[in-house]
């Protein structure tokens, strides 16, 4: 790792990004691996665990989501989890090797009373020596500041897809709403976690535009989760044609080239990926995964399977210091 991969850019044109996608596969992976090795340890992966702290009954109409109140998916609605249950889950995640604990609540936006309870969870998880991340929907500027004061390390708020395709997936909030929340998080000095979902019926141009929006933010997200659509029966996107595996790998590689100092995370959809496909994603520059049997409401490979895969590939799990990569004290990378 030498940290020399050229200047960090926030002015990528769509033609430049399309040209990257069009490269021969081996050439693209070579460029991505070169950028990766210039900024990260070559064979190390950061491991996060995600817990749903409030499930179902969300007012949004995201066409991929089992938790929307507008879709009949058979999901049982649950209230906000008790603090003790969250702490127990975080401790179990830490014992299995996770360094970051992510908490997700199915809200359009949290009330201040909701936020009080989440702040208690953030402080309790940090007391275990873990990094913290939450995803709670849209935030106001004042709420972002409260989360910062609670010691939150990361806030997740995905752009999901391109601005042009966005209306085909979500109508209850705008693309600009998402950008506004990311700006509140950034202004508060919290690390940004933002990525998207592939395989929702979008075009290759939409995937390029999604990455352009992320890479041309004033500062790159510290963490960029790339999800493969998990098709849930009862959601409008159930039955969508599956994305070609190599196109998914290409998207990982282009994300690594555009945002060379960001963690690129393999997120939802890994249960439908072969070990060989995941190995290609790591070669393409992915260096973070969600770890544990569940991702909010969908399945994820078991921790034992992941550890076995890491061992086969010679990949080590990262051991991060608490707060070592706070947005207020580091560069544009994760």
The sign of the CA dihedral 16, 17, 22, 26 is positive
Please give the biggest Cα pair distance in the chain: 52
Catalytic pick among 31, 178, 186, 193: 193
**Active site (annotated) includes residue 133:** yes
**Active site (annotated) includes residue 265:** yes
> What does the alpha-carbon distance between residue 45 and residue 278 come to, in Å, rounded to a whole number?
12
Catalytic pick among 31, 100, 102, 270: 102
DSSP helix/strand/coil, 290:
strand
**Active site (annotated) includes residue 193:** yes
Alpha-carbon distances of 224 from 170, 234, 238, 252, 285, rounded to whole Å: 20, 28, 25, 10, 11
Q: Which helix (H) or strand (E) holds 300?
A: none
Catalytic pick among 126, 133, 270, 281: 133
Structure tokens at 195: 């990525």
Q: Report CA dihedral (230, 110, 88, 76) to the nearest 10 degrees.
A: -50
Q: Where are the beta strands (DSSP E) in 271-311?
A: 288-290, 294-295, 298-299
Catalytic pick among 31, 65, 126, 256: 65
Catalytic pick among 31, 173, 178, 265: 265
**Active site (annotated) includes residue 329:** no
**Active site (annotated) includes residue 281:** no
Question: What residues are annotated to the active site?
Answer: 58, 62, 65, 102, 133, 193, 265
């Amino acid at each position: 790792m030498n940290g020399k991969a050229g200047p960090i850019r926030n002015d990528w044109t769509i033609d430049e990004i399309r040209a990257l996608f069009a490269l021969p596969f081996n050439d693209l992976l070579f460029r991505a691996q070169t950028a990766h090795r210039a900024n990260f340890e070559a064979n190390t992966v950061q491991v996060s665990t995600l817990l749903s702290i409030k499930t179902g009954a969300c007012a949004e109409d995201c066409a991929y989501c089992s938790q929307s109140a507008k879709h009949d998916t058979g999901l049982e609605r649950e209230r906000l989890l008790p603090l003790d249950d969250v702490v127990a889950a975080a401790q179990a995640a830490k014992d299995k090797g996770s360094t970051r604990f992510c908490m997700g609540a199915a809200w359009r936006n949290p009330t201040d009373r909701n936020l009080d309870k989440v702040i208690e969870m953030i402080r309790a998880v940090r007391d275990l020596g873990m990094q913290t991340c939450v995803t709670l929907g849209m935030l106001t500027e004042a709420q972002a500041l409260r989360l910062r004061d609670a010691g939150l390390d990361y806030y997740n708020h995905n752009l999901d897809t391109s601005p042009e395709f966005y209306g085909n997936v979500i109508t209850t909030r705008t693309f600009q709403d998402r950008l506004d929340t990311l700006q509140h998080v950034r202004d508060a000095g919290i690390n940004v976690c933002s990525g998207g979902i592939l395989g929702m019926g979008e075009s290759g141009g939409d995937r390029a535009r999604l990455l352009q929006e992320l890479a041309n933010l004033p500062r790159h997200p510290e963490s960029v989760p790339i999800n493969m659509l998990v098709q849930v029966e009862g959601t409008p996107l159930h039955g969508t044609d599956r994305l070609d595996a190599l196109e998914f790998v290409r998207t990982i590689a282009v994300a690594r080239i555009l945002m060379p100092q960001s963690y690129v995370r393999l997120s939802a959809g890994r249960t439908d990926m072969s070990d060989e496909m995941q190995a290609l994603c790591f070669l393409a520059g992915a260096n973070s995964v969600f770890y544990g049997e569940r991702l909010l409401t969908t399945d994820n490979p078991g921790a034992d399977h992941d550890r076995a895969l890491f061992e086969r590939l010679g990949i080590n799990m990262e051991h991060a210091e608490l707060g070592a990569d706070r947005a207020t004290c580091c560069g544009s990378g994760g």
